[in-house]
């Protein structure tokens, strides 16, 4: 995830403070870094691709001054590959405004077009570069920085945390935010802005958390916060008591828990990247899949590994059921060695968080060589898969630091929902009116995830009260795939043997394993299959298993009486999207089981975050 640090102080040490702050943000993952420094003769900007040491070496080489005020940024590529040019900070046309930005500006193409028509030119491929251009446009009119920022942000749709400097105001720093965190740190004769507390923690423990649409104005002695209309607002000072390690995790004990809690935000980012307020179809032109292309296809493969494979399973189920397109899902390690039928009438969709998984990458290359078009559903911009695929659908989960994938999976599912709708509309299986309704359900998803996260304490209590020998996850339809993901997570981080079964398959073998000490987690969210799954749960209950139901609130509770020892009730809604919701309690179950057993949650044994070898 991108990181922001800004410093202004009486002592001539701004570039040192900024480099130190950026180093504190390195743990978040980044691919390039940059710095802007106020000097009497204007703002200096330097930026480099790669690790911070590259920037540090470069600054040393050119004798970069220390200065009194500046902003810095570590970039995690979103729009445009990792490069010196795409790194932040970005300039306005006349070099009078400089900006660093975290977040995504959704309508940047449209704004960029307008600016181009005005004669502006752009250096980078980023969405960020339009921001200083627009601020400068307004600033030129009356030299009022707050009004210029406020007018600029009223034009932008999306999320942003901004650090801003004006060339003719070297004694001031500006900050603004919406849907992307930003704090202002209070020092003595010096003040800070930062996207994350660790960046400033060794200098101050007193911060303001900016709220949406706040604009902060900092000089060496004071901090003023105003709203969009320019009226002063007061924010409480928050005294940070966490140590640095806890602060890196946003106050959570583990990255995994932090990432679980980031899901409402990142799922919204993924959805927003493809949804427009006034258009009843997902925005997918860049994927190169038109009606003609779809009609000409003989087959679709989805290829992935691990958690991404489970997202592919959900995608296949939905694409077949809603868009009526037959789709084959395969694990990449099998696909690449079995000589599958691939030709130019084949679409291969590869799914990967890291974009570097060796087997998935090999499947991609093999498919391209055989003439197929490849669509990558990828989280990491600039990764090998994102570069080699013909088309890319980015999930906007931000960097996932915990080895066990959580937020990236939820974003992959959001991508699958959008892709399904796209295919279905192209094939005339979904009308704009139906999509309109679906869009409402999609937009409601982040709030529902939040509701489930509010049950964290109860879920922890359930986990604390069980001590199973082994665990079965069972469900039907989409609930089966949800169980597969739940089971993988439990194995990965709690080292507890578990298996996922289609509920109807239990009686064909695995039911022989059921005995006291077995925990069966029944996922019950698919209306037409509720009674069938509950019957299967009755069978395991009768054989001594302990049963935990994860059910939607529209399931008749009396059906679970006498069957479920424990139940976790999640919000009801569109049948497609409960697959994402039902997985949230599963993530928390795995997490708390691992914590209870005292394991290293974020770095489970024998596993690597990115599997770049076979």
Give the CA count within 13 Å in the CB-facing half-sphere of 73.
Answer: 31
Under the binding rule (CB under 6 A), the answer on residue 384 touching ligand F6R is no
Residue number with CB closer to ligand F6R (18 or 590): 590
The stretch among 70-78, 90-98, 291-299, 347-355 that binds ligand F6R (CB under 6 A) is: 347-355
- Helices 578-597 and 407-426, packing angle to 10 deg: 170
Residue number with CB closer to ligand F6R (306 or 398): 306
Under the binding rule (CB under 6 A), the answer on residue 353 touching ligand F6R is yes
Cβ neighbours for 238, distance < 8 A, ≥ 6 positions apart: 206, 207, 208, 209
CA 371 vs CA 144, 341, 345: distances in Å: 57, 11, 8
From 15, 74, 180, 307, residue interacting with ligand F6R (rule: CB under 6 A): 307
Under the binding rule (CB under 6 A), the answer on residue 48 touching ligand F6R is no
From 92, 308, 552, 586, residue interacting with ligand F6R (rule: CB under 6 A): 308
The stretch among 123-131, 207-215, 354-362, 583-591 that binds ligand F6R (CB under 6 A) is: 354-362
Under the binding rule (CB under 6 A), the answer on residue 354 touching ligand F6R is yes
Three-class DSSP category at 506: helix
Which is catalytic among the residues 49, 258, 439, 609?
609
Can 2 be counted among the known catalytic residues?
yes
541 DSSP 8-state letter: H
CB of 416 to ligand F6R, least distance (A): 14
Sites for ligand F6R among residues 400-459 (CB under 6 A): 404-405
CB of 499 to ligand F6R, least distance (A): 16
CB of 391 to ligand F6R, least distance (A): 17
Cβ-based burial of 121 (10 A; exposed 0-12, middle 13-18, buried ≥19): exposed
- Helices 263-272 and 445-453, packing angle to 10 deg: 170
d(CA 165, CA 98): 5
d(CA 303, CA 519): 31
509 DSSP 8-state letter: T
The stretch among 194-202, 254-262, 352-360, 553-561 that binds ligand F6R (CB under 6 A) is: 352-360
Total binding residues toward ligand F6R, as defined by CB under 6 A: 15
Show the site string, 487-506: x = touches ligand F6R by CB under 6 A, - = not.
-x---x--------------
Under the binding rule (CB under 6 A), the answer on residue 352 touching ligand F6R is yes
Q: Please name which of 305, 411, 390 lies closest in space to residue 347, comparing C-alpha atoms.
A: 390
Q: Give how far the C-alpha of residue 527 lies from the chain's centroid of Cα atoms, to the nearest Å.
A: 29
Residue number with CB closer to ligand F6R (361 or 424): 361
Please say whether the dihedral angle defined by the alpha carbons of residues 523, 524, 528 and 533, taken in this order, is positive or negative: positive
Residue number with CB closer to ligand F6R (307 or 536): 307
Tell me whether the omega of the peptide bond preceding residue 89 falls within 30 degrees of 0, making it cis: yes
The stretch among 81-89, 91-99, 346-354, 445-453 that binds ligand F6R (CB under 6 A) is: 346-354
Site for ligand F6R, rule CB under 6 A: 305-308, 352-354, 357, 360, 404-405, 488, 492, 610-611
Q: Which residues are catalytic?
A: 2, 609
């Amino acid at each position: 995830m991108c990181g922001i640090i800004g410093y202004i102080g009486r002592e001539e040490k701004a570039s040192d403070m900024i480099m130190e702050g950026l180093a504190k943000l390195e743990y978040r993952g980044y691919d390039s870094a940059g710095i802007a420094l106020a000097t009497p003769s204007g703002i200096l900007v330097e930026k480099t691709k790669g690790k911070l040491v590259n920037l540090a070496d470069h600054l040393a080489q050119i004798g970069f001054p220390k200065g009194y005020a500046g902003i810095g940024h570590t970039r995690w590529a979103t729009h445009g590959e990792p490069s010196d040019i795409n790194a932040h900070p970005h300039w306005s046309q006349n070099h009078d405004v400089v900006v660093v930005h975290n977040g995504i500006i959704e309508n940047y193409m449209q704004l960029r077009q307008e600016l181009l028509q005005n004669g502006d030119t752009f250096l980078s491929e980023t969405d960020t570069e339009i921001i200083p251009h627009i601020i400068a446009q307004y600033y030129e009119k009356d030299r009022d920085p707050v009004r210029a920022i406020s007018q600029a942000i009223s034009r932008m749709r999306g999320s942003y945390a901004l650090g801003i400097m004006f060339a003719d105001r070297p004694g001031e720093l500006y900050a603004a935010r919406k849907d992307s965190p930003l704090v202002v740190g209070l020092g003595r004769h010096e003040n800070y802005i930062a996207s994350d507390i660790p960046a400033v923690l060794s200098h101050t423990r007193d911060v303001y958390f900016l709220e949406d649409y706040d604009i902060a104005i900092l000089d060496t002695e004071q901090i003023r916060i105003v709203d969009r209309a320019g009226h002063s607002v007061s924010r409480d000072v928050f005294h940070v008591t966490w140590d640095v390690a806890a602060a890196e995790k946003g106050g959570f004990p583990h990255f995994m828990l932090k990432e679980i809690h980031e899901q409402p935000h990142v799922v919204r980012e993924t959805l927003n990247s493809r949804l427009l307020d006034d258009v009843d179809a997902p925005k997918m032109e860049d994927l190169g899949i038109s009606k003609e292309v779809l009609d000409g296809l003989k087959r679709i493969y989805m290829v992935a590994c691990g958690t991404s494979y489970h997202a592919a399973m959900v995608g296949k189920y939905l694409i077949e059921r809603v868009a009526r397109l037959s789709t084959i899902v395969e694990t990449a390690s099998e696909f690449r060695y079995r000589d599958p039928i691939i030709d130019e009438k084949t679409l291969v969709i590869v799914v990967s968080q890291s974009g570097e998984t060796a087997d998935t990458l090999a499947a991609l290359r093999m498919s391209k060589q055989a003439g197929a078009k490849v669509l990558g559903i990828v989280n990491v911009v600039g990764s090998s898969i994102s570069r080699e695929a013909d088309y890319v659908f980015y999930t906007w989960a931000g960097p996932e630091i915990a080895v066990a994938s959580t937020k990236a999976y939820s974003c992959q599912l959001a991508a699958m929902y959008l892709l399904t709708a796209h295919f279905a509309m192209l094939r005339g299986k979904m009308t704009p009116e139906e999509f309109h309704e679906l869009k409402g359900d999609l937009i409601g998803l982040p709030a529902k995830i939040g509701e489930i996260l509010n049950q964290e304490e109860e879920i922890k209590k359930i986990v604390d009260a069980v001590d199973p020998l082994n665990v079965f996850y069972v469900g039907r339809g989409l609930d089966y795939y949800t169980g597969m993901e739940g089971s993988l997570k439990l194995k990965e981080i709690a080292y507890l043997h578990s298996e996922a079964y289609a509920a109807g398959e239990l009686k064909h073998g695995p039911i022989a394993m059921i005995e006291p000490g077995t925990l069966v987690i029944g996922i019950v969210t698919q209306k037409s299959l509720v009674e069938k799954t509950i019957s299967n749960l009755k069978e395991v209950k009768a054989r001594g298993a302990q049963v935990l139901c994860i059910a939607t609130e529209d399931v008749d509770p009396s059906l679970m009486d006498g069957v479920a020892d424990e139940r976790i009730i999640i919000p009801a809604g569109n049948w497609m999207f409960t697959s994402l919701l039902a997985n949230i309690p599963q993530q928390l179950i795995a997490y708390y089981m691992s914590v209870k057993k005292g394991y290293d949650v974020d770095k489970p044994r024998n596993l690597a975050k990115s599997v770049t070898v076979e």
